[in-house]
Amino acid sequence: MPPIAFPERLYDRRGGAEPLVQMDELLQEMIAAGGPMPTEYALLNRTLRQLGDAVRARVISREDVLAYASDTTSRHLEGTMQARALGKKYGYSGDFEMIDAIYTLRTAPEPHLKRWDLYFHAQAAPNAVRNRKAYFHHLLHSHVAGRPKSALRVLNVASGPARDVREWVLDNPEQQVFFDCVDAEIHAIECAKKMCAPFADRVEFYHRNVLRFLPAKGYDLVWSAGLFDYLADRSFVFLLKALMAVTRLGGEVVVGNFSDFNPSRDYMELLGDWVLQHRTRDHLRELALQAGAAADSIEVQWEPEGVNLFLHIRR
């Protein structure tokens, strides 16, 4: 196996390479041992944090760390969740396949790769993704409870694999809930259609870019998770306005966004090149005001990890 290709100039800076060298030593040790053990997660997290601090202090560039991460991953960790994130099969790390792999706790079958996937799934961020599916289900329950007789109309914006919709309908077959799902990725739509094939009468799919088109039937609940944290503020406000416009009076818009409290951020950004627009509760509130929401109609909640925030706007 040829040696790891460190960017040469890192060694030229005084002490600059140290956190990357430490990370490499640890990773090589763990790779040789067949992947990290749970007792080693804290050490790996701490080493990642130190690497992140070095990037934030501009001691090492993010590009150099990423070049190292891609090199090491393609040599030793092909087939893992980390490799999947770096691979960006559909153009970015958090595509529908990745999200579904998180929901289903997918792990590589090879034992020496599986341990890396178990480490991946133990992170706060994938936990938050799984929690947000439960959050959506709770939200649906509370909306159904609020209107026991009439049907509930739900718009699912950037619906991805629609596993959340499938599970809800399977668990609540008697409820009159109708979903319109929009996604810009045709493979996501095809996957989601298969996922929801048994109840095609309740779930309609639109293969569209939500920044250009939204079905405008009038919805009781508009839900979007895993999209707004990829949008710059301007697009965030533009889309939020559009979502509010297709929500019925008395209805609710709920938009997920990763918080600036994300203990997995260094892992995601430095080893997975998975970059999100992390936002604070105040920032989300401010963007909601810019979109025209009344101050007393806005609330920000979160799932148990505290990593995925949810901006609620009552109409």
Ligand X SMILES: C[S@@+](CC[C@H](N)C(=O)[O-])C[C@H]1O[C@@H](n2cnc3c(N)ncnc32)[C@H](O)[C@@H]1O
| Least distance (Å) between residue 155 CB and ligand X | 12
Rg of the chain over all Cα atoms, to the nearest angstrom: 21
Rounded to whole angstroms, how far apart are CA atoms 32 and 287? 48
Nearer to ligand X, 36 or 94 (CB): 94
Residue 168 φ/ψ, nearest 5 degrees: -60, -50
Residues 6+ apart with CB under 8 A from 98: 81, 84, 85
Number of residues that this document lists for the chain: 315
Minimal distance in Å, beta carbon 279 to ligand X?
Answer: 16
Cα 21 from Cα 14, distance rounded (Å): 13
Return d(Cα 197, Cα 106) in angstroms, integer. Answer: 22
Residue nearest to ligand X (CB): 160
Which residues are at the interface with ligand X (CB under 6 A)? Answer: 94-96, 99, 158-161, 164, 182-185, 188, 209-211, 225-227
Q: Which is nearer to ligand X, 45 or 264 (CB)?
A: 264
Q: Kindly state the smallest distance separating residue 140's Cβ from ligand X, in Å.
A: 14
Shorter beta-carbon distance to ligand X: residue 40 or 190: 190
**Residue among 23 and 102 whose Cβ is closer to ligand X:** 102
The least distance separating ligand X from the CB of residue 187, rounded to whole angstroms, comes to 8
Taking the C-alpha atoms of residue 66 and residue 73, their distance in angstroms, rounded to an integer, is: 10
CB-nearer residue toward ligand X: 45 or 159: 159
Smallest distance, ligand X to C-beta of residue 276, A: 10
Query: b/e per residue, 205-214, with b = 16+ CB within 10 A?
Result: bbeeebeeeb
Instruction: Give 91 or 109: the residue with its C-beta nearer to ligand X.
Output: 91
CA distance linking residue 196 with residue 83, whole number of Å: 28
In the complex, minimum distance from the CB of residue 239 to ligand X, in angstroms, rounded to a whole number: 8
